[in-house]
Amino acid sequence: MLIEGNGSRPVSGTLNGTANGTMNGTNNGSQTTQASCPDANGTLPCCAGLAVPYVPFQQNNPQKYSQSEALSNGTLFPGLNLPFRLAVDGSTLPSTPLAELQALEFVVLELNLYLDTHKDDTEAFRLFQQFSAMEKAARAAYEAKYGPITQQTAATGDSYQWLSDPWPWNYGQNEVN
């Protein structure tokens, strides 16, 4: 399932097979608004300066997974999901409140890195705002039930709960449900 709505364009709308159809002739890598390539492809300058590495620029408004699929696959973007031959499937996640919080936080992180190189993608920024708010609410609900995960929240309780088990690296961290 892909994230839809919120202004997202249809998933199949970008497949026209002409990878160089709208190259604009400059080597301006951030000019990626003309989505003429398939989602798993990016844009390259047509007359690129020599002796410098080029990675195809991911086009604006790429396809996105839902948050649990994103965490399971290790990326928010289907176009960047390139698994090793021994592992064609995504990872299985425990169905715990912690994993749900981790999934929301992961979408925020992926959008953060994406926006670092695509700061003009307004759709991605809207999603970034939306998921940050969802993550904040989910974190507050989680901490109210299972104890603080930040020092700041530890200071709001009736007593000092920061030292309570489990710690993240303990096997028992995953037993909470």
Partner 1 sequence: MFHYEKKLQFPVKITTPNPKLAAFIISQYGGPDGELGASMRYLSQRYSMPFAEAKGLLTDIGTEELGHMEMVAAIVHQLTRDLSDEEVRANPTFAPYFVDHTTGVYPTAASGFPWTAASIQSTGDVIADLTEDLAAEQKARLTYDNILRLSDDPDVNNVIRFLREREIVHFQRFGECIRLCKEKMDAPNIYLSNPAFDKTQPANTRSRG
Which residues sit at the interface with partner 1, rule CB under 8 A?
27-30, 49, 51-58, 71, 73-75, 77, 80-84, 86-87, 90-94, 96, 98-99, 101-102, 105-106, 109-110, 112-114, 116-119, 148-152, 162, 167-171, 173-174
Structure tokens at 8: 């997202």
Cis check: omega of the bond before 166, within 30 degrees of 0: yes
Residue 6 vs 84, nearer CB to partner 1: 84
**Residue 10 vs 52, nearer CB to partner 1:** 52
Report how far apart, in Å, the C-alpha atoms of 109 and of each of 51, 78, 113, 135, 173 are: 32, 16, 6, 11, 22
Q: Which residue has the tokens 């307004």?
A: 122
Closest distance to partner 1 from the beta carbon of 85 (Å): 9
For the CB of residue 82, give the shortest distance to partner 1 in the complex, in Å.
6
Q: Which residues pair with 42 in a beta bridge?
A: 58
Closest contact distance (angstroms) between CB of 169 and partner 1 is: 4
Q: For the purposes of burial, counting CB atoms within 10 Å of the CB of 51, is it exposed (0-12), middle (13-18) or buried (19 or more)? A: exposed
Q: How far apart are CB 14 and partner 1 at their closest, in Å?
A: 18
Hey, CA dihedral for 57, 62, 67, 72, is it positive or negative?
negative
Cβ-contact 99, 71 below 8 angstroms? yes
Residue 5 or 51: the one with the smaller Cβ distance to partner 1 is 51
Q: From the CB of 7, what's the least distance to partner 1, in Å?
A: 23
Which CB, 5 or 49, lies closer to partner 1? 49
Which CB, 5 or 85, lies closer to partner 1? 85
**Cα(170)–Cα(150) distance, rounded to whole angstroms?**
17
